[in-house]
A and B are shown apart, each in its own frame.
Chain A
Amino acid sequence: MARRYRGRRSAQALVDRLATVVIWSFALLALLVVVTVIGIILWNGLGAALSPSFVFGKPQAMWEGGGIWPMVVSSFYLAALTLALVIPLGVGAAVYMSEFAREGRLVRLVRFGADSLSAVPSVVFGIFGMVVFVIYLGLGYSLLAGALTLTLLNLPTVMRSAEEAIRAVPRSYREAALAMGCTRWETVRKAVLPVAVPGITTGAILSAGRIVGESAAVIYTVGLFVRKVPWSPFRPAAPMAANIWHMYTEGALVPDWFRVASGEAAFLLLTVLALNLAARMTARTVRKRMGYRD
């Protein structure tokens, strides 16, 4: 009896060790995937992405050596424009949800709306933006049409991250402000929002990364290729992500399209990684500075 028990136990120990090995190897496989993906993209494109003549150069259609400067500007311009629209809206919504709304049908409706909106595929946002902003409102392919589309696309995530930041503000802050005779809105404006700003900023930087990387919602609202830097929001533009798609579909016209697309992919990847890093660093400095001493 005892022997059989010991046998079963050692069998279990063997299974346990095997499971540990399997779990470790899965994790290492995931690590390998991440390193391979980033490694290959940088290996193929870093040479171009780090040369100033490429990043700040004019794009060429018929001969080699073109740059991507208008695309770089388009990407950042689009991100800035979208953030200018989505942050007030998202933060306003978050303030309402965390400070004013009472649990009920309305709150449930807004939550369902946010969840559904964040589940909508980006290509559907793209064709919606094309119909409504590009054609119906007559904006044409433009940065503004793209920014409006991306505002809708990013609203749920900005709202969620802002709500988290606002809810993380200690209750005592609100109580102190209210006790000093502030109205609810004054409390929010003077006691809650200043403390939540860093958290909101982190969320906004992450959204900027998502906007810069977005292409399916941008192709039919902003455009794929431009020669000159689009300074007006009513002009067509070509964010890097959309331009990679352009190189893939119609690049054969450009003799060194492969180099351009690889360089653009590497530069885009570096941009997004830098934004993610910036978001994490903001979050960390803030946590340190606030110290959570209370």
Chain B
Amino acid sequence: MPAISREWLTRKVLLVAAMMVVVGLVTVVFFVAKEALPSLSQAGPANLFSSVWDPREGRYGMLVFLVGTLATTAGGLLLGTPLALGLALFLTQVAPRRPRELFSRLVELLAGIPSIVLGWLGFTVLVPHIRSITGSSGSGILAASIILAVMIVPTVAAISRDALEAVPASYTQAALALGATRWQTISGVLLPAAKHGILAAVILGMGRAMGETMAVAMVIGPASVFPTSLTSPTHTLTTKILMEMGESTGLQRSALFAMGLVLLLLAMALVILVRLVSRARESYAVIE
């Protein structure tokens, strides 16, 4: 029966296609880990997680860059989340129909802008502005945070919007019927009901900010030391990898892969965190 065997074959081929994401993930993790191994075994974790990066002296510490990543991510979230949340509330609760369409179109536009273009804008406009205002070099965590905030606003706003729209209308109607003002409804009913979704949105935004490379690389200003202020140059994990991968060999290159491995692990930790949050959201919905 050729028809059946063909059917069987097609199904297997499609299964292979579906498994490609898993195979791809495993391959990426495997090769990045394999390349990182020499630095782990020869330089050792104590060296890798120190704060001195000086390959000529055999020092491959990534602490400065890890701190840079965490600081720029935190800065981006701090500036971006309120804006994104305000935008999501505007789009779901406050905006009249026409402005709502205009605004959501424009936010989609923002999501489409390539990160290298945002980086170029940061380098040509934002950094010189910060330089002239503060009298410092201009590049650093502040500039990177501002650019990252712009980058994560569309992501966080879109997912928060979905979360807000998923709250049953009966909730808000009940609050309004009890005489609550719109803000009381938002702060007392809507936001608590959507909090898990909003948290998931923030975590996803965090992932984007952490992994962003080009836009940050153009405004963080190359320096492998802890920044002395918000406007002094430093590096993040991603920008250090980008800047040095081209001309590095041996243990130095391996140490850069170790940074890549740290980024991979952080990204996967965030994915698991989102899953836990959305599971909590489901059980919350059941209790409701």
Bound together, the chains give a CA A173 to CA B53 distance in angstroms of 62
Contact across chains for A273 and B267 when beta carbons are under 8 A apart: no
B residues within 8 A CB of A29? Answer: 83
Hey, which chain A residues are within 8 Å of B182, CB to CB? Answer: 16, 19-20
Q: A92-B17, A93-B14, A123-B213 are in contact. Are A213 and B117 (CB under 8 A)?
A: yes
From the candidates A88, A90, A127, name the one contacting B241 in the complex (CB within 8 A). Answer: A127
Distance to closest chain B CB from A99 (angstroms): 8
The reply on B90 being an interface residue by CB < 8 A is yes
Q: Which of A16, A110, A126 contacts B18 (CB 8 A)?
A: A110
Contacts of B171 in A (CB 8 A): none
Given contacts A122-B211, A273-B109, contact A33 B32 (CB under 8 A): no
| Stretch of A51-59, A128-136, A285-293 lying at the B interface | A128-136
B83 touches A26 (CB 8 A): yes
Question: A120 — which chain B residues lie within 8 A by C-beta?
Answer: 25, 28, 211, 264, 267
Q: Which residue, of A30, A38, A265, has the highest number of chain B Cβ atoms within 10 A?
A: A30
Are B86 and A213 neighbours in the complex by a CB distance under 8 Å?
no
A93 with B18, Cβ < 8 A, contacts A30-B153, A215-B114 known: yes
Q: Is the CB of B124 within 8 A of A127?
A: no
User: For the complex, is A269 an interface residue (Cβ under 8 Å from B)?
Assistant: yes
Q: Which residues 224-280 of A sit at the B interface, judged by CB distance below 8 A?
A: 241, 244-245, 248, 258, 261-262, 265, 268-269, 272-273, 276
With contacts A12-B184, A215-B116 taken as known, whether A155 is within 8 angstroms of B21 at the C-beta atoms is yes
Q: Judging by beta carbons under 8 Å apart, are B109 and A19 in contact?
A: no
Q: Are B15 and A40 in contact (CB under 8 A)?
A: no
Residues B197-236 near A (CB distance < 8 A): 207, 210-214, 217-218
Q: Are A123 and B242 in contact (CB under 8 A)?
A: yes
A212 and chain B: residue at smallest CB distance:
B114
Question: Considering the chains assembled together, what is the distance between the CA atoms of A37 and B207 in angstroms?
Answer: 23
Q: Does B7 contact A (CB under 8 A)?
A: yes
Residue B74 lies at the interface, judged by CB distance under 8 Å to chain A:
no
Instruction: For A33, give its contact among B110, B218, B238, B270 (CB under 8 Å).
Output: B110
Chain A contacts of B181 at CB under 8 A?
Answer: 12-13, 15-16
Query: How many positions in chain B have a CB within 8 Å of any CB in the partner chain?
Result: 84
Query: At the interface, yes or no: A168 with Cβ under 8 Å from chain B?
Result: no
Segment with Cβ contacts to B, from A76-84, A111-119, A196-204: A111-119
Which of B89, B114, B125: most chain A Cβ within 10 A?
B114
The answer to the question of B174 belonging to the interface, with a C-beta cut-off of 8 Å to chain A, is no
Contact yes or no, A122 B123, CB < 8 A: no
Contact of A124 among B10, B13, B24, B260 (CB under 8 A): B260
Q: Which residues of B contact A272 (CB under 8 A)?
A: 112-114
**Which chain B residue lies CB-closest to A27?**
B90
Name the distance in Å between B38's Cβ and chain A's nearest Cβ. 13
Partner of A121, one of B112, B186, B210, B218: B210
Of A15, A26, A122, A241, which one neighbours B87 at CB under 8 angstroms?
A26
Q: Which residues of A contact B46 (CB under 8 A)?
A: none
CA gap between A100 and B13 in the complex, in Å: 12
What 4 pairs across the A-B complex have the smallest Cβ distances? Answer: A26-B86, A121-B211, A213-B114, A92-B17
List chain B positions with a Cβ less than 8 A from chain A. 3, 6-7, 10-11, 13-22, 24-25, 27-28, 31-32, 35, 82-83, 86-87, 89-91, 93-95, 103, 106-110, 112-121, 123-125, 150, 153, 157, 181-184, 186-187, 207, 210-214, 217-218, 238, 241-242, 245-246, 256-257, 260, 263-264, 267-268, 270-271, 274-275
A-B contact list, 5 entries, CB within 8 Å: A96-B15, A115-B271, A116-B267, A120-B25, A244-B116
